[in-house]
Every structure is written in C-alpha cells, then in structure tokens.
C-alpha cells in the first residue's frame, strides 16, 4: 500500500519550500515542521481519528499525494501547539491501542487520550476550533465524530482495566474553553468494523463508500471524491 506525500501551497501558489518570497525572511525549518504529519502511517495500523471520520478520506490520506493550503496546515500546527500548552497545565497524553485478527493479519488500532483524571474517572479530549461559542449556541458541538472518538478512547482504556465514568469534550478557540459531556458507549465492535472496511479497501486498492459530513467543505480530496449525487447534495446542504 503506497503512502501519500504532501505539499503545502503558499499564498503565491507555489510549493512553500520553493517560494522565494516565503523564504526571504522565514527559515525553511518552519515549512518542514508544517509538512510533518503528527502520526506516521504504519502497515495494518489505524488511528482512531481515521476511523471516526470519512473512510474515503482516510483511504486517500494513505494513498494519494495532496496539495494543502498554508492556512490549513497552519491551523493544524496551531492546534497541536495548543495541545502542548494545555499539557503544561497538568494534562498528560496517554497512548492506547487495541488489536484484532483479520484475514490472517494482526490489525492494530491506536489512539492518544488527551487526559484522564483518576479521581473522577473522566476522559478529556481537547478540540481546537474557531468560534466555539457560536458553534455551541447553534448546537454544532459536540460533533458526532468527536463523540465517537472519545468513546473509542474510553473503550480502549477499559481494556487496560481502567474504568471510565465520564467523557468530556473541551472545545477551545482563542477566547473560549467550552466543555461538553458525551455519553458513555462501548465502541470495540464498531472500531473493528470500521478498521476492517478501511484495511480491506486499501489491500484491494478499492475506495470505500464516501461518507458526507461537515468536513466535506474542507476536504483536500474534494475533487477526487467519487460522491454520488445524493451524497454531493447532502454535502452541499451541510456547507
């Protein structure tokens, strides 16, 4: 299975590491950091975030070179920096994983829990966003994919013998911290089913069915996505 490569396209419509204007005052090490993915894909290993989003996008991320706008890459790095900042306040990221057998292979699902508070048995997951209060007022958060993600983390923690009593999603922008409680739920079988679909699609070099959602508006693979008219209509309505 091939691995994708990514190029960041600057405001001058060039690859950012090759743009003379972008490199005139800023170091190339900055662009290298922007280009570095947080999680390096590994064979037969899938991160929870790949399973909770559109599986077609997860497939493209593994197989298709992309051109990403600087604003998108910067937003991701800014979110990562906020995660690092919050860790300095006492949060400690926990790496978790679960495995299952599929077609004679061992499939691994990995995740990173932003924080776990033993006293209340609470899992916290930080989401950096924009206009957090507006989204909360409009009922746009918590998002279904975020609820699924934090439920997956709780499920994986419980496989380590760690009981979880509460799930909290914390939405952060430059002005607000808005916590939203999510319902408890066991996601083990759901994770296995999603990972099975993605793994078999990659092995067969066959796209899984597209899944429309709010992220369609920002998807870097919008032009490659073979959406049906029904899915395209739904995606437009979500925009």
Q: Between 204 and 236, name the one with better pLDDT.
A: 204
Task: Please state, rounded to an integer, the average pLDDT across all residues of the chain.
Answer: 86
Please name the fold of domain 43-238.
Lambda Exonuclease; Chain A (3.90.320)
Calculate mean pLDDT across residues 53-69. Answer: 87
Position 232 confidence tier, pLDDT thresholds 50, 70, 90: low
At 228 the pLDDT is: 56
Q: What is the pLDDT of residues 104-138, one digit of tens each?
A: 999 999 999 999 999 999 999 999 888 999 999 99
Calculate mean pLDDT across residues 163-185. Answer: 94
Position 1 confidence tier, pLDDT thresholds 50, 70, 90: very low
At 158 the pLDDT is: 96
Q: Where are the domains of the chain?
A: 43-238
The torsion angles phi and psi of 198, rounded to 5 degrees, stand at: -65, -45
At 75 the pLDDT is: 76
CA distance 219 to 213: 10
Q: What is the pLDDT of residues 150-163, one digit of tens each?
A: 999 999 999 999 99
At 88 the pLDDT is: 65
Whether the pLDDT of residue 231 is over 80: the answer is no
Alpha-carbon distances, residue 142 vs 125, 150, 152, 173, 185 (angstroms)? 11, 11, 15, 14, 15
Percent of the chain with pLDDT over 90: 52
DSSP letter string, 167-225: EEEEEE-SS-EEEEEE-----HHHHHHHHHHHHHHHHHT-PPPP---GGGGG-TTTTT-
At 239 the pLDDT is: 45
Give the dihedral of Cα atoms 66, 70, 75, 77; nearest 10 deg: 80
Q: What is the pLDDT of residues 3-60, one digit of tens each?
A: 446 688 888 888 888 888 888 888 878 777 777 766 678 899 999 999 999 999 999 9
Whether the pLDDT of residue 233 is over 80: the answer is no
- The structure tokens 């609470």 sit at 122
């Amino acid at each position: 299975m091939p691995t994708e490569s990514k190029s960041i396209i600057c405001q001058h419509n060039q690859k950012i590491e090759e743009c003379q204007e972008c490199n005139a005052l800023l170091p190339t090490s900055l662009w290298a950091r922007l280009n570095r993915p947080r999680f390096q894909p590994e064979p037969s290993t899938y991160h929870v975030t790949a399973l909770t989003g559109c599986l077609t996008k997860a497939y493209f991320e593994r197989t298709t070179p992309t051109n990403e706008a600087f604003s998108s890459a910067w937003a991701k790095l800014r979110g990562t920096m906020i995660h690092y900042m919050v860790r300095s306040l006492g949060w400690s990221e926990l790496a978790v994983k679960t495995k299952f057998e599929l077609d004679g292979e061992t499939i691994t699902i990995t995740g990173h829990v932003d924080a776990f508070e033993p006293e209340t048995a609470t899992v916290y997951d930080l989401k950096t966003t924009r206009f957090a209060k507006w989204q909360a007022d409009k009922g746009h958060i918590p998002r279904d994919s975020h609820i699924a993600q934090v439920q997956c983390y709780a499920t994986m923690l419980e496989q380590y013998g760690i009981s979880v009593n509460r799930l909290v999603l914390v939405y952060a922008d430059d002005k607000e911290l808005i916590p939203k409680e999510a319902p408890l739920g066991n996601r083990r079988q759901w994770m296995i089913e999603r990972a099975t679909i993605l793994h078999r699609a990659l092995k067969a070099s066959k796209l899984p069915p597209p899944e429309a959602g709010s992220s369609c508006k920002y998807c870097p693979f919008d032009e490659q996505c073979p959406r049906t008219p029904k899915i395209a209509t739904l995606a437009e309505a979500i925009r």
